[in-house]
Every structure is written in C-alpha cells, then in structure tokens.
Amino acid sequence: MILGSALRQGKAIATKPSIIGSSYSASPLANALFQVESYYTTLSAQNDNNKNKTSTPHYPTSHFQSRSYHPSTSIYYLQTTDPKQTKFSSPTLPKYNLAPSVIEEIKKDLKDVDADGNGKIDSEELKELLKKHNSTFTDDEIVELGELFYASSGAGSVEIDRFVEALDAAANGTSTLASDLGLKGKFKTHPLGIGTCASEYMYAKTHGKWTEEELDVKLTHVPPEKFVDKAAFVAVKAFRFGFDIGTGWNRGAITTDKILNRAIFLETVAAIPGMVAAIIRHFRSLRNMARDGGMLNMFLEEANNERMHLLTFIRMKDPGYLFRATVIGGQFAFGSAFLTMYMISPAFCHRFVGYIEEEACATYTKIIKAIEEAPEGTDLGNWRTEEAPKIAKGYWHLGEHGSVLDLMLAVRADEAEHRDVNHAVSGVAYDTVNPLYDPREKMDNMLKRYVQDMMERTNDNEKNNKTNKVAA
C-alpha cells in the first residue's frame, strides 16, 4: 500500500540484483567506498612522489585495495592488488554518517536482543528488536518483516557490525547499486544480503486498510507518447464511448440501478486482464525455468480484487438471465481478444488497463459525488448511511457500520492502485521485481524507520541528561 502510494507520486523503484557476501567480509557498500577512496589515495601518493622528477614521464598504476573484518580481533585487514604494498592495518573502526551517540545506542540495542551472543542478528532476534519499538512498528509489521528477513536471507543471520552499516546506509539514502559507485559488476548486494527470491512466493496485500489520504483519490492521466500508448488510449476511448451509449449512462440522472448495472457488468470484465497476465507469466516462468519477479502474484491479487468488487455488488442486486447471458458473451469476446493481445504485446495491454482504470476512477468519482449530493430520503441519498454488505465490511475493513458510500470510496482506491501499477509496469523488463512487494524496499523502509526512532530516543536521552546535570 505504501509503495502503491509511492507509484502514484511518480517515484521510480530501482531493481537491484543481490548476492550474499562472506561472513568475514565488510559489507559490499563499505568495501566499494573504501576501494574508491584508496584508489584516489594511491594516485595522489604516486603523483606526490613524482612531482620533482624531470626524467621520462611516469604514468601511475592504480591498485584497488580491499579490507576484511575479523570479529574476534576487531581489526580490518588491508589488502591490495599490488604485492609490494600488502600490509595489515592497525585496529580501526568503520566510518559512519550517523552521530557516534546514535551508533552507540543502536549497537547496544542490537546486543540486547542477541540472545545466543554470537554477534549476529537472525529473524527471531529481529522480531524482538522491533518489538522494543512497538510505537513505530505494528504487530502485523513485525511478523511480516521477520518472515521476510528469514526468507530473503535464506534463513541466515547478519553480523551486528554489518547490520549497523546497513542502518547507516539506509538512513543516509546511500545507493548500493554498482553503477552508482563506478564499480560495475563488483558490488551488487543489499547491505543486509537481502535477495529478491522471497517476492516469488510472499505477497501480503490488504486492501481494507486504506488511509484517509489514500481514499482521497486524485484523477491523474499518463499522456500517451509511444505508438503503443496512443493505440491503447484510442482503444479505451472508443470502448468507453460505445459502452456509454449502449447502456444509456449519460442519459438522464444517475440512479442506484444504473450504478449497479454498470458496476456489475464492468467488474465481470475487469477481472480478466490480471488473470490473463498471471497465466501468461506463469507459463513463461515454467518455460524459461526462470523467476518472474513476483509480478505473477500481484496480477493474481489484482484479478481477485476485481472479483471481490463483483461479489460485493451482486449482494446489492441480483442480475437477471438476459444480463447474465450478456456477461458470458462479453467475457468470451474480451477474454479472447485480451489473451491474444497480451501474447503479442504485454506493454500495450498494461497501458490499455491503465487507461481503463483512469476511466474507472473518473466514473467512481462521479458516483461518489452523486451520492454525497443526493437529497435525503432518495435511494441514492440513503447510500450515505445504508450499511454495505457484510462481505464488503470484512474485505475492506469498513467497520461494523460501514456504509455503501464508504464502499465506493474503497473501490475507487483499488482502481487507482490498479491504474498506477499497470501504467508503471507497461514496457518494463520481464524480470522486474514486483513494485508493490520488493523485499529490499521493504527492508530499507524498516531500517529507516528504526534509525529514526533511535535518533529520537537518543536526542531525548541527551536532553534528559543535560536537564539532570543542570538540576544537580
């Protein structure tokens, strides 16, 4: 849900390959920064030595240095590709961007939960750590993050020093991408060694907990740029024009019957794209014997979400036989066409769905406005207080007395998320990680929130200490 909001704000989600480093090595990020620093240090020293030489110009040879950390000695062993300069460094500590007082409190916090005293943090110890910060993390988040850490780290654990480095990197927004460090192909891992394999089978999405901000959906539009985008946009506009005329949507006032007939029919069709996308990606993953990136789970959930819209609306009106026959014909026609097009151009299909969802958001906004402005005592006005079906209350967490108006607001929020996600994935590489459930993004968010809480606690402690000294 948080990432869905990020997509709505146009934030790009980077995909970062992951490998797990040796248990005796510093984090790839620390190593990379150390190598870049030592590279320029080496060049500078060699240039200084050759300043006064007037003989044949000397072009310095660069030698990258690396360091490894041994927890039993707290010494960083300095190594270089130049055999003449191999040496061991004196005991030193890694450099952090966070204040020393914050680092000290964080290390103390981590050691407190290190139950077996092995200097590492595993998934159960991570849960205990987050429980100490229950004002920042909910119980559901603690369970989810613990399971995610267990799965993404391959049931492993992380050294406390490396955990601190990861916290420091996340808090300062330091990128772990190799391309950002100019060392392509050397360091690609998340500071905690978190991979993306968990996205293949873990996907926790609860549509019921929309915030007030997320329910206040803004009508947005992605201008078509490429030919595929323009073709999808024209197709959606033509479909909308024909459907509005055929159903008489724009003739006369909006009524409850008009709304339910339109919503029920469209939801029987709207659940098709997500299922088609999931099926195609499923077969491709099997055929190529490769990961899907977790997109399959996202599209399955999208299809089921649209199905839940349908199951809710039919509790408010039971369609007749002619209506049901029309649904069968519509499913066959649209389902066959969409399946064919998805095999030809997934980019077109996702852009098409993105524009369809733009229209859905506009339609539900019109419906919500009609309900809010309807006179008291009318069927439409009664929806402001009439309770939504039980299935809707349970699925969207509308509360014991959730109204039909609350239901419409939640459905519109669903459509807005489908809009943003389909626009975001149109034309992306096949192996792109699910933008709504990237384990690395979730862990980074956890690290940032934890550091923020620790910084606030440290500041409070320092203020209290100063107050006590003054009082003494």
Tens-place pLDDT, residues 322-351: 999 999 999 999 999 999 999 999 999 999
Q: Could you tell me which residue, 80 or 294, shows the higher pLDDT?
A: 294
Q: pLDDT value at position 215?
A: 92
The CA-atom distances, in angstroms, between 394 and each of 307, 310, 389, 401, 412 are 15, 15, 9, 11, 17
3-state secondary structure of 158: strand
Residues with Cβ within 8 Å of residue 139, at least 6 apart in sequence: none
Q: pLDDT value at position 189?
A: 55
Reading the block at residue 134, the tokens are: 């229950």
**Position 251 pLDDT exceeds 80:** yes
CA gap 338, 345 in Å, rounded: 10
- Assess contact for 92 and 76: CB atoms under 8 A: yes
Place of tokens 């060694």: 193
Q: pLDDT value at position 294?
A: 84
**Position 291 pLDDT exceeds 50:** yes
Handedness of CA 312, 317, 318, 323 (dihedral sign): negative
CA gap 114, 126 in Å, rounded: 9
Q: Would strands 158-159 and 65-70 be described as parallel, antiparallel, or unpaired?
A: unpaired
Length of the chain, please? 472
pTM exceeding the 0.75 threshold for the entire prediction: no
Give 230's pLDDT tier (boundaries 50, 70, 90). Answer: very high
CB atoms near residue 113 (< 10 Å): 18
CA gap 292, 199 in Å, rounded: 9
Give me the residues paired with residue 233 across strands: none
Residues with Cβ within 8 Å of residue 269, at least 6 apart in sequence: 330, 331, 334
In percent, how much of the chain has pLDDT > 90? 47
**Position 94 pLDDT exceeds 60:** no
**Position 47 pLDDT exceeds 90:** no
Give the single-character DSSP code of 403.
B
